[in-house]
Structure 1
Amino acid sequence: MDAETQASIYEKFQKAMHLLEVESPKDPEEEPYKSKYAARDLLNEIKFQLERHIEQSDVITEAGHQLAAVLFYLGYISVETDEPSAGEQLLEEAVRAAPALGPCTVLSTLNALNQLGLVWSRRGEHNRSQHYLQTAETVYQKYKEQVTLKPVDLPDLFRPSRSDGEEKTDDSKEGRSGLTKLEELHTLTLYYLGAGQKSAGTAFNNVGEPVKAALYCHNTLSRQLDSSSFDRVEWALNSATLSQFYLPKQMFRNARHHLAAAIQVLNHYSEELDAAPDKTSEQHLANVERFRHREADVARCWAKLGQVLLQCSAERLVTSSPSPPAEPSTGQLFFRQLELGDLEKQMTDTPVRDFEEARKVFLCAQRWIQKAKQYYTLEEHASDHVEVVREHSQLFKALIFFESDLDRQCKMYKRRVDLLEPLLAELNPTYYLMVIRQLQYELAEIYSDIAQCKVELQRDRDKRGQHVTAHVVQKINHLAHQSIKYFDLFLNTLKDSEGHYPDKFEEDLTRPVLIAYFHLGHLYNRLMEIELKPKLANVQKSIAAYQFIIDYCDRVPLGAEKMAEELSACREMARLLPTKMDRIRNAINDGGTVTTDLTV
């Protein structure tokens, strides 16, 4: 290729790269692809020049390398400008244009294969996406095993100073740049195979191999630690997110390790923010806000580890399981680059056996919850704040299992009420109806649990000859009425303006609605009334609640499916309670006004 043509191609390529890397982020909203289109025009001119040279020349090596790079950039631009079909064709051409595994072609090939994996993943064709990404992984591995020369970075392919066939493979700046780019591209391949993009999903997850996806994700994070440049905030979030994959598998050591790593990386980034010379610039303030946001998210992941650890420990104790399930084989899942002992020892990674051990987990998780609340305030992040408070409530629920003292259990239930009840007064049902329903339902269940606790306490007193007092009756009834109130509030949100339910509830609401009526049936039946007429009214309401469930399940098969375990009990109660009503009526007809049977 003559020097003039080479210089022309290089000048156009430089302009195209400037448009893509510098000007494109500045494009106005009304013309979001202005710079990308301009870069595409220049690259198409280069493509035409290269193809003409290849047609007229017997020596096509250098032009072929450059053509493969140009085809990749054209394919990339097409994908970025919402033309995936055109992009796919150009990327396939780029792979075909660089068939040999050499220093001047490997980066074009890896770039194109990664983009093809992304294109097919976004289409939902996850097996095909996985094929391209695994091909990219194989290309990288073969290059590392078979080729000793360092890769040439794509921009260096176009420098006029490169003589035909010259390879920048020494320790020059160009050689180091190509090697860095090779490692970055492989890291990206692993990222797509494992973590994936939020919009595209994960390649292995989407083909039913989540354990392999987690391994790829971990390896990506490990490779990023080895590199000198990575986004610390994003890294920490990805590590914390990966920890959540291990929780349902009870792989608590791996989960804790990735959370500790996330905190250490965030701590280092915090030191960088503290050392920033200009703490008033918009960029610095934006960095601080992003750091605080993701630090709160990592804190929530720590709290979730504590909650799941307590829940799994309780399940093991109930089922007398001697050990947690075997961990799936995922290879080495620890970051050898980090010393995390001090961060890890704040929370155990093994199931707990008693209240004292559970309390230590609870207190650690609660500290992380408080950390998350500092960012997710009700005023600025209402929805997230409510979720964090509910997570705090669930943490108490998980701890209650390990507390044998009923009085202390009641106090912990009351802490849950104190956390949740104030939120209802702050939320507008116009905007937060779903959240309000969740809070109402949870509060109804909590008050029901407290009432049951008080009943159990009184039964213990009965055994010691301490009979029920009017104060105890009043307390238990108050708690039951609070539970009834919140179940009614929840159910009323499902009625139309005329107070009618829909013919059928949505599938995700069917069981909650019917279980609410199941609770109401029990609560009304358990209310302790001295006077007979209110007692009769309560039994009638109990029967009505059970009958509602029976009628709905008889009419809607999905209801019977959702209430398979409870439906027979509902039918039994609906059969037995009328007898109880008859006894109360007979007592009233005989002139009675109060009951002599007031027991819990």
Structure 2
Amino acid sequence: MASVSSDEWRAVCDKFTNAQHLSDVESRSDPENNPFLSKYKAREVLREIHCSLKSFEAGDGEEEVGGESPESGVQRSSEPPVERPSEDVFVRGVSGDSPAGLRAARLGAVEYYLGVNHVDTEELSAGQEHLMNCMKLLERCRVSPENVSLFIHVRNQLGILWAGRDETETAQGFLETAEFIYQRYMKEDGTPPTDITEYFTTEEKLLTHQERTKRFEFAYTHTMYYLAQVYKNLGETERAATYCHSTLQRQLQLNQFNPMEWALNAATLSQYYITKGQYMEGRHCLSAASVIAGLAGDVPSEEAAKESETESERREKLRQQRADIARCWIKYCLNLLQDAKKLLEDNIGELNPDRQEELKRERRNDEEEEEKRRKSALLFGSEDTFDSIASQEEKVRCLYPLDFSEAKAVFLVGQNYVIQAKEYFLMDGYVTDHIEILQDHSSLYRNLIFFEEEAEARCKMHKRRIDLLEPICNDLNSQYYLLIRRQLMFELAETYNEMTDLKLSRTNRQGDTQSLDNHTMKKINHLCSSSVKYFQMFLDSLCSPEGKFPERLEEDVLRPALAAKFRLARLHTLMICPVPSVQLDNLNMSLENYKFVVDYCAAHPEAVAAVETELELSTEMAGLLPLKINRLKARMAVNN
């Protein structure tokens, strides 16, 4: 090999620097009609470097290393290569600092860069060929400080390539090998390794140990990031979450991250922890996301956005990203309330005081246990951000709320983020997102109501839910937003139904209407009628254009449709009317709906499991109501 101080070698190094500049810098300014112009130029320079290295070998009289040239027509296998972690890479072949090892590494690096170049220009098969050439060259060497970085980089790239082809297990093999190599190297050696750019750098431009370490650690961070994606695609969600968490922490430690991108990834990770009931971890991710998002700077003003296209794009992007994080906070608060409700409710869905007291007694041990878990957890942050993240965490609890006061504190945090999210996701332009946020706001109220004991206060909160959803439901075009309208109609129907029950509960018995004043009777009938209206609207939305109700209900609407029929039957019996003929009509409507549930389940036995309780009550009422109807008819006949 020619001396590294020779003019020839300096020319090679200059060419490499030029190729890097073309690929990383000049390519950003390539014209739209030729987006890979600079990449193609870089490729030609890399090929020249490859030829120079081969000629140096020939000049030294050494045996050729590396097989075919970059221009060769090597037949490409359609079968995905198999790679699994192995000890062989640490014991086979020549040392990385030997002349043969250095020659293989340098040629391998050129093949690596050519492979990346072809992948960047969407020539995946050619990219795979060059990356596999790099792998073949490295087969002649054992892992050492001189080549360990290249060992990992090429496997990272092959992992990305095969993951993009949905060959997830093939990608997994390359990435797990890269992980194994890093861990084994750090355990057995750990010295700052040669960076792959240094194969073509003159001695005076070699990197410091600190910079080498930083680049090597960053390469491994990429390995972990890609593995997180692979495990997610394989359905190994817990493993994926662990790798994602570690990736985010390493990015902070290395100070190599985009603030908003990092914050969105942390907020997304929080949603996994929330679904697992790990609210301490979920809160920590969201708190870190809020703090790190702040590092992106203030959102440009409307005036600044009008004056500059760049500022306009930045304003739009920052506002959306922060609104997305706010929506993740909403889900945190909503799920925390929902899970607390599940812990505290009795067999009819009401708050169980005995269970409440039991959980309160356990609270002290829970708090101590949570503090121990927090100290042992992998926490985000550095000296600059750790205190800010901790302060953010203190704004909302991670233990289940056990009474109204605690639940309201969680509700208010969620409601504050609802306001923030709605500032960006306006009805004009973001219909689906805006409505989902409103539905979450309604759900926050619904779960807070569970903790409220006073019926009148419950009614007022239900009324706020109606005020949120009713205008939207009535204004939506059913042609374009049918599914959303169905959701809103059903929720409004149930909300009015719950308000009816609350109003009726204020009398001694549901059937005791004698003590009700005229205003209260009208109020109850209004609530009943409103619930009936929205349940009927929901059922009508299932009909064909000719108005015919389906003989067989689709699985996604089976339970709601039969539940709506059952609720309609009950609501018609709750209507308060002194006119016997109207009472008779209501009872007949009630019987018709109860019989529908019974008859449908008889005709479709698979539906029974979806409405067991409703079916049992419907069967009973379908037997009792005819007797009540006949008695009413008899009284009417006597009076006439």
2:97 maps to 1:57:
no
The equivalent position to 1:408 in structure 2, one of 451, 457, 462, is 457
User: What is the CA-CA distance between 1:405 and the residue it aligns to?
Assistant: 0.3
Distance in 1 of aligned mates of 2:272 and 2:565: 35
Preserved CA contact (<8 Å) 1:17 1:39: yes
The equivalent position to 2:377 in structure 1, one of 332, 350, 366, is 332
SS in 1 for 2:479: helix
Offset from partner CA, 1:521-565 (integer Å, 9 cap, x none): 222232222222222222222232233333433444543343344
2:633 maps to 1:585:
yes
Distance in 1 of aligned mates of 2:162 and 2:197: 27
User: What is the CA-CA distance between 1:213 and the residue it aligns to?
Assistant: 2.2
2:213 maps to 1:179:
yes
User: What is the CA-CA distance between 1:125 and the residue it aligns to?
Assistant: 4.3
Distance in 2 of aligned mates of 1:14 and 1:288: 36
User: What is the CA-CA distance between 1:396 and the residue it aligns to?
Assistant: 0.5
- 2:76 corresponds to: none
SS in 2 for 1:563: helix
SS in 1 for 2:391: helix
User: What is the CA-CA distance between 1:378 and the residue it aligns to?
Assistant: 1.5
SS in 2 for 1:341: helix
Preserved CA contact (<8 Å) 1:68 1:105: no
Structure-to-structure mapping, 1:452-471, within 5 angstroms: 452-459=501-508, 467-471=515-519
- 1:487 corresponds to: 535
Q: One-letter code of the match for 2:326?
A: A
2:382 maps to 1:342:
no
Distance in 2 of aligned mates of 1:482 and 1:445: 10
2:263 maps to 1:236:
yes
- 2:564 corresponds to: 516
- 1:140 corresponds to: 182
Q: Give the direction of change, closer, same or farther, for the CA distance of 1:185–1:472 in structure 2 (3 Å limit).
A: same
- 2:156 corresponds to: 114
Give the TM-score normalised by structure 2. Answer: 0.80
Distance in 2 of aligned mates of 1:261 and 1:42: 44
Offset from partner CA, 1:137-183 (integer Å, 9 cap, x none): 22222232333543333333223x359xxxx8xxx546544332211
Q: Give the direction of change, closer, same or farther, for the CA distance of 1:150–1:417 in structure 2 (3 Å limit).
A: same
- 1:74 corresponds to: 114
Structure-to-structure mapping, 1:273-422, within 5 angstroms: 280-318=307-345, 320=355, 322=359, 332-335=377-380, 337=382, 338-339=386-387, 340-422=389-471
Preserved CA contact (<8 Å) 1:461 1:467: no
Distance in 1 of aligned mates of 2:37 and 2:373: 49
User: What is the CA-CA distance between 1:45 and the residue it aligns to?
Assistant: 5.1
User: What is the CA-CA distance between 1:28 and the residue it aligns to?
Assistant: 5.6
Distance in 2 of aligned mates of 1:517 and 1:462: 21
Distance in 2 of aligned mates of 1:343 and 1:563: 44
SS in 2 for 1:352: coil
User: What is the CA-CA distance between 1:571 and the residue it aligns to?
Assistant: 2.8
- Bigger drift between 476-485 and 575-584 goes to 575-584
User: What is the CA-CA distance between 1:296 and the residue it aligns to?
Assistant: 1.5
Q: One-letter code of the match for 2:336?
A: L
Distance in 1 of aligned mates of 2:573 and 2:540: 21
Distance in 2 of aligned mates of 1:26 and 1:559: 62
User: What is the CA-CA distance between 1:442 and the residue it aligns to?
Assistant: 1.0
User: What is the CA-CA distance between 1:448 and the residue it aligns to?
Assistant: 0.8
Distance in 2 of aligned mates of 1:74 and 1:414: 65
Q: One-letter code of the match for 2:460?
A: K
Q: Percent identity?
A: 36
Preserved CA contact (<8 Å) 2:559 2:611: yes
2:545 maps to 1:497:
yes
Preserved CA contact (<8 Å) 1:54 1:64: no
The equivalent position to 2:247 in structure 1, one of 220, 232, 239, is 220
- 1:91 corresponds to: 131
SS in 2 for 1:68: helix
- Bigger drift between 547-556 and 346-355 goes to 547-556
Preserved CA contact (<8 Å) 2:299 2:315: no
Preserved CA contact (<8 Å) 1:107 1:154: yes
Give the TM-score normalised by structure 1. Answer: 0.85
Q: One-letter code of the match for 1:22?
A: V
Aligned pair count?
A: 574
Preserved CA contact (<8 Å) 1:518 1:549: yes
Preserved CA contact (<8 Å) 1:462 1:468: no
User: What is the CA-CA distance between 1:11 and the residue it aligns to?
Assistant: 5.4
User: What is the CA-CA distance between 1:385 and the residue it aligns to?
Assistant: 1.2
Distance in 1 of aligned mates of 2:482 and 2:299: 42
Distance in 2 of aligned mates of 1:549 and 1:44: 75
User: What is the CA-CA distance between 1:402 and the residue it aligns to?
Assistant: 0.5
Distance in 2 of aligned mates of 1:79 and 1:572: 69
Preserved CA contact (<8 Å) 2:305 2:312: no
Distance in 1 of aligned mates of 2:17 and 2:37: 17
- 1:595 corresponds to: none
2:287 maps to 1:260:
yes
Distance in 2 of aligned mates of 1:86 and 1:505: 52
2:593 maps to 1:545:
yes
User: What is the CA-CA distance between 1:40 and the residue it aligns to?
Assistant: 4.2
Q: One-letter code of the match for 2:213?
A: L
Q: One-letter code of the match for 1:347?
A: V
Offset from partner CA, 1:425-480 (integer Å, 9 cap, x none): 443333322222211111111111111111112237999x9812232222111111
Distance in 1 of aligned mates of 2:30 and 2:558: 49
Q: Give the direction of change, closer, same or farther, for the CA distance of 1:462–1:116 in structure 2 (3 Å limit).
A: same
Q: Give the direction of change, closer, same or farther, for the CA distance of 1:246–1:582 in structure 2 (3 Å limit).
A: same
Structure-to-structure mapping, 1:520-531, within 5 angstroms: 520-531=568-579
Preserved CA contact (<8 Å) 1:24 1:34: yes
Distance in 2 of aligned mates of 1:112 and 1:577: 76
- 2:618 corresponds to: 570
The equivalent position to 1:560 in structure 2, one of 604, 608, 611, is 608
Distance in 1 of aligned mates of 2:479 and 2:109: 54
- 1:210 corresponds to: 237
Q: Give the direction of change, closer, same or farther, for the CA distance of 1:444–1:181 in structure 2 (3 Å limit).
A: same
Preserved CA contact (<8 Å) 1:491 1:513: yes
Q: Give the direction of change, closer, same or farther, for the CA distance of 1:461–1:66 in structure 2 (3 Å limit).
A: same
Q: One-letter code of the match for 2:25?
A: V
Offset from partner CA, 1:18-60 (integer Å, 9 cap, x none): 4432354455666555554554455455445545655762454
Preserved CA contact (<8 Å) 1:246 1:254: yes
The equivalent position to 1:250 in structure 2, one of 277, 302, 307, is 277
Preserved CA contact (<8 Å) 1:108 1:154: yes
- Bigger drift between 384-393 and 291-300 goes to 291-300
Preserved CA contact (<8 Å) 2:305 2:315: no
The equivalent position to 1:432 in structure 2, one of 456, 459, 481, is 481
